[in-house]
Structure 1
Amino acid sequence: MGRWAERVRVTEGEEPDYRFSLANERTFLSWIRTSLALLAGGVAVSQYLPGVPAGLRLAVALLLIALGVVLAALSLARWRRVERAMRLREPLPQTTQLPALTLGITAVAVGVLVLVLASAR
């Protein structure tokens, strides 16, 4: 295992039931899929909406891409916190991802609304 992988790995406490670790991993992968979808959406907005003003298109695309990047980073941190809590038999930590994703998607929705209104003129 490489240096970075060793740093990410959680080793403190007791090994939890493998089913809980696998559920935590599936949740992590779900967040990563959401992140990839946001990145793909950003690329699609930037490349496939030629009739929309470039500034608006770029703003929405960058917002989607930034949200995807932030969500991916938060996902790894969340996975580690949950894995650590399970190993130490502590309560599961609160997540920052849901509020971040909600605010980000709301901002994107407002941006898309502006895009639709701008392209309807």
Structure 2
Amino acid sequence: MAEPKWRTEGEDPDYRFTLANERTFLAWIRTALALLAGGVLLHEFAPEIGPRVAVVVLSVALAVVSAVLGTVAYTRWRGNEIAMRHGRPLPFSWVLPVLSGVCLLTAAVLAVFLVLP
């Protein structure tokens, strides 16, 4: 695989920052995998929780969020690397509030399903 052009621009950042950026990327990927696992588990092992259609929709939504988060993890890692190479501030991420909202919504829906008969 050819090295991306942006890797030759600017100055190489301190390796500690590069490794920290990589650890953050891996944490985002672990979160995406956890959301995917939650969606699969919900679909396969919770057939009696709430209306089946709602459970399937929630499971698919978790899988889609997982796929989006995996993509965003890479773009966030890349953006941070480019910013560090050019000595610019790290870019803002809208993902944190959205991910928090998704988790809140999922927890609220599941809580309602568990409380209602």
Question: TM-score, normalised to structure 2's length?
Answer: 0.90
Aligned equivalent of 1:48: 45
Aligned equivalent of 2:96: 98
**1: CA distance, partners of 2:71 / 2:5:** 12
Alignment of 1:60-79 (within 5 A): 60-79=58-77
**How far apart are 1:7 and its partner, in Å?**
4.0
Q: Which runs of 4+ in 1 moved over 2 A?
A: 6-11
Query: Which of residues 99, 105, 108 is equivalent to 2:106?
Result: 108
CA contact (8 A) 1:56 1:115 kept: no
**How far apart are 1:9 and its partner, in Å?**
6.2
Moved more, 8-17 or 43-52: 8-17
**1: CA distance, partners of 2:81 / 2:91:** 10
How many matched pairs?
116
**2: CA distance, partners of 1:9 / 1:88:** 10
Question: TM-score, normalised to structure 1's length?
Answer: 0.87
Cα separation, partners in 2 of 1:58 and 1:28, compared to 1, 3 Å: same
**2: CA distance, partners of 1:89 / 1:110:** 42
The share of aligned pairs that are identical, in percent, is 43
Query: Which of residues 31, 36, 40 is equivalent to 1:34?
Result: 31
Match of 2:110, as an amino acid? V
**Unaligned runs of at least 5 residues, structure 2:** none
**2: CA distance, partners of 1:51 / 1:8:** 52
**2: CA distance, partners of 1:65 / 1:8:** 32
Query: Which of residues 81, 84, 105 is equivalent to 1:83?
Result: 81
- 1:90-121 Cα deviation digits (max 9, x unpaired): 01111122012112112211221232134xx1
